[in-house]
Amino acid sequence: MVVAHRRAGKTVALVNHCIRSVLEHPHRRAQVAYVAPTYKMAKRIAWDYVKHYSQGVPSVKFNSSELTATYPNGGKLLLLGADRIHDLRGIYLMGVVLDEYALMDPRLFTEVILPSLMDHGGWAILAGTPLGANQLKRAYVAARDGIDGWRAHMLRASQTRAIPERDLAIAKANMSPEEYEQEFECSFAAVIKGSVYGREVSAAESTGRICDVPYDPRLGVTVAVDLGMRDAFALWFLQEHFSGGQIRAIDYREFTGKGLPEVKREVDALGYTITRWIAPHDIEVRELGTGRSRIEVARQLGMAFDKANNMPLADGIEATRSVIPLMVFDRKRCEFAVDALRQYRYVYDEQLQIMSREPQHDWCSHCADALRTYATARSGALRTDWRVSLRHLELQDERAAVVRRVSHRR
């Protein structure tokens, strides 16, 4: 487990480690993988290093279309992207590097990579620079605190001396203190730059709202859904305590490659009493191969979906920002979801030198979209001023209803 500051030279070191591992492994068809957050990043970051540091090896063969290097002992070094997690299933590996692990789906290592290492007693290196308190931090802390089989290394710029003091001074003068601490001193405390809900999630963490949240069988469960077509089918399980304005996130699940009947069976097995299903506003126009809409299939399965309000993305995001301060998240069952909300972000456009108009579509999107479905369903009408919390508006509506009843009696 390696946490390193920017420009520490970790990618060069990791690529060389992969090359050496392929050359020294006794298996006649050894495979080692370098995995970046995306296939495009693997090519841009590491491919030139692979070619450069392998050039002294006789008879090495490079395949630029597949990003593989084949060495004279029959071993291969593979460059892969974590953006297509299911494409990595089924391969065998003697070793793997997950570089910039903070940007990857946290299920990648446990569900895909770890099984691929078991046949040959393979090694793994998870590496990266902090990007908030996410899976990189959890993996580092576990390794640092002595989890069996792991070692932890943290490389801060103030300790490595890999960057001249003058350059660090220039960086410090041009960056916010939080950015500098994150990028050069390996701090996990900073909110991710461009994060859509980072401040709200950090506030939930600092106020103790990420904790043990048991299921209360006396209350119904609302399930908010993002209906994936090719992507994940995402579901938030929420219990609403309207007397105190609290929304308890008791569980979060994602299903990939499964239809509504399969999802319904797995949800039923959880044992929750579900009183409401909420789907995106366009559920009626999403057709299955049978020609029936998903809402028709859902009704037959006993999933009577309410449709969320149709809002522009920006208003939906603001609605979600107003809901998160009312939420309490189960620390275990919602761990993946909290990470996804924290990392759901706008990305910087290098050409235009501005943040993107819409958040990046990646593994975080399904979770964020499902919660936005819930938030827009709570909002009775399109709003442009979200400074007033939704609970405050509910209280106003309740008071107005009481006034109307009293007036009617008179």
95-99, 172-176, 215-219, 244-248: segment of lowest average pLDDT: 244-248
- Please indicate whether residue 98 or residue 146 has the higher confidence score (pLDDT): 98
What would the two tokens of residue 170 be?
């220039």
52-56, 59-63, 186-190, 400-404: segment of lowest average pLDDT: 400-404
Instruction: Report whether pLDDT(140) > 90.
Output: yes
Q: What does the pLDDT average to over 215-223?
A: 93
Q: What does the pLDDT average to over 333-349?
A: 89
The predicted structure's pLDDT at residue 259: 78
Q: What does the pLDDT average to over 14-30?
A: 96
What DSSP letter does each residue of 210-246 carry, written as one string?
EE-----TTS-EEEEEE--SSS-EEEEEEEEETTTTE
Out of 21-35, 124-138, 341-355, the most confident range is 21-35
What would the two tokens of residue 325 be?
């301060």
- Whether residue 105 contacts residue 91, with contact meaning beta carbons closer than 8 Å, is answered with no
Q: What does the pLDDT average to over 141-168?
A: 94
Choose among 37, 13, 8, 14: nearest CA to 185.
8
Instruction: Report whether pLDDT(404) > 80.
Output: no
Instruction: Report whether pLDDT(40) > 60.
Output: yes
Q: From CA 35, how far away is CA 16, in angstroms rounded?
A: 14
Instruction: Report whether pLDDT(387) > 50.
Output: no
Q: Scan for tokens 């020609």, then name that residue.
A: 291
- Whether residue 233 contacts residue 254, with contact meaning beta carbons closer than 8 Å, is answered with yes
What does the pLDDT look like over 121-131, one tens digit per residue?
Answer: 999 999 999 98
What would the two tokens of residue 25 be?
């492994």
Q: How far is CA 182 from CA 91, 129, 145, 336, in A?
A: 34, 8, 21, 22
- Whether residue 122 contacts residue 95, with contact meaning beta carbons closer than 8 Å, is answered with yes
The predicted structure's pLDDT at residue 176: 86
- The helices-and-strands tally (H runs, E runs) of the chain is 15, 17
Q: From CA 91, how far away is CA 93, in angstroms rounded?
A: 7
Q: From CA 35, how far away is CA 194, in angstroms rounded?
A: 24
Helix (H) or strand (E) holding 34: strand 31-36
Instruction: Report whether pLDDT(180) > 70.
Output: yes
Three-state DSSP state, 401: helix
Instruction: Report whether pLDDT(352) > 90.
Output: no
pTM, two decimals, is 0.67
Q: From CA 68, how far away is CA 19, in angstroms rounded?
A: 11
Q: Which domains are seen in the chain, by residue range?
A: 2-185 (3.40.50.300), 202-399 (3.30.420.280)
Instruction: Report whether pLDDT(29) > 90.
Output: yes
Assign 353 a pLDDT band (cuts: 50, 70, 90).
low
**What are φ and ψ of residue 140, in 5° steps?**
-65, -45
Neighbouring CB atoms inside 10 A of 165's CB total: 10
Return all residues near 223 (Cβ < 8 A) that are at least 6 apart.
235, 236, 237, 238, 267, 274, 276, 277, 278
What percentage of residues in the chain have a pLDDT greater than 70? 87
What does the pLDDT look like over 256-304, one tens digit per residue?
Answer: 878 788 889 999 999 999 999 999 887 765 454 555 666 777 778 888 8
What does the pLDDT look like over 357-383, one tens digit per residue?
Answer: 889 888 899 999 999 999 999 875 433
Q: From CA 126, how far away is CA 98, in angstroms rounded?
A: 5
- Whether residue 238 contacts residue 221, with contact meaning beta carbons closer than 8 Å, is answered with yes
